Amino acid sequence: MVKQITFSGIHAWHIEANVGLSSPNKTLDVQLVQFGYLMMSINPKNVLQDFEREALAGMKVGQPCNGTPSDPLVKVIIAHQRSRGGVQDGKVSVISTASGAYVQGGKFTYILAALCNNMRQMAIVTYPRIDQHELCPFELKKAVFESYGNPGFLIQ
């Protein structure tokens, strides 16, 4: 189940378990990460490398992730990690620090923090209500909607 957290005073969405290579790849976690990458791909502030654009073109939001190196989401994660530096393990990890950053040969933010920044920038009017974004996948939309105390039906 995705949940809301705050790190360094900034609101973010969080995953229950790692997503990507050899990870649990729970449906809502996968959809949150995919939605973050979709927002990254359409954010005009981002300058993406050709290999990132190529990987993003193969990803379909809402498609399950099987955790293998050939999975489209794993390819996106690997390309993003290659572009930004830091840990390069093919996973979007659960944020385990209060700052949303970690140190490994330098200071880096968790990938999920970067993805949430893209969600915030591309859904600036409604963030953190990502369920109100037209491109939010249905299962994620439903979970976010219900997290705000709106149990019941959500029209797809």
Q: Which neighbouring-strand residues pair with 6?
A: 11
Q: Which residues of the chain have pLDDT under 70?
A: 98-107, 151-156
Grouping H, G, I as helix, E, B as strand and the rest as coil, residue 33 is helix
For the question of whether the overall pTM of this predicted structure is more than 0.85, the answer is: yes
Distance CA(38)–CA(98), nearest Å, equals 26
- Tokens 């976010």 locate to 144
* Per-residue model confidence as pLDDT tens digits over 75-118: 999 999 999 887 889 999 998 876 666 566 666 778 998 999 99
The reply to whether 155 falls in a domain is no
Q: Are 35 and 136 in contact (CB under 8 A)?
A: yes
Q: What is the pLDDT of residue 148?
A: 85
Strand-pair category, 91-92 with 19-20: antiparallel
Q: Which residues contact 69 (CB under 8 A, 6 or more apart)?
A: 21, 75, 78, 90
Q: Which neighbouring-strand residues pair with 102?
A: 108
Token pair belonging to 33: 């990460």
Question: Containing domain of residue 84, as a range?
Answer: 3-147
Enter the DSSP assignment of 37: H
Q: What is the pLDDT of residue 108?
A: 74
Q: How many domains does the chain have?
A: 1
Strand-pair category, 101-103 with 107-109: antiparallel
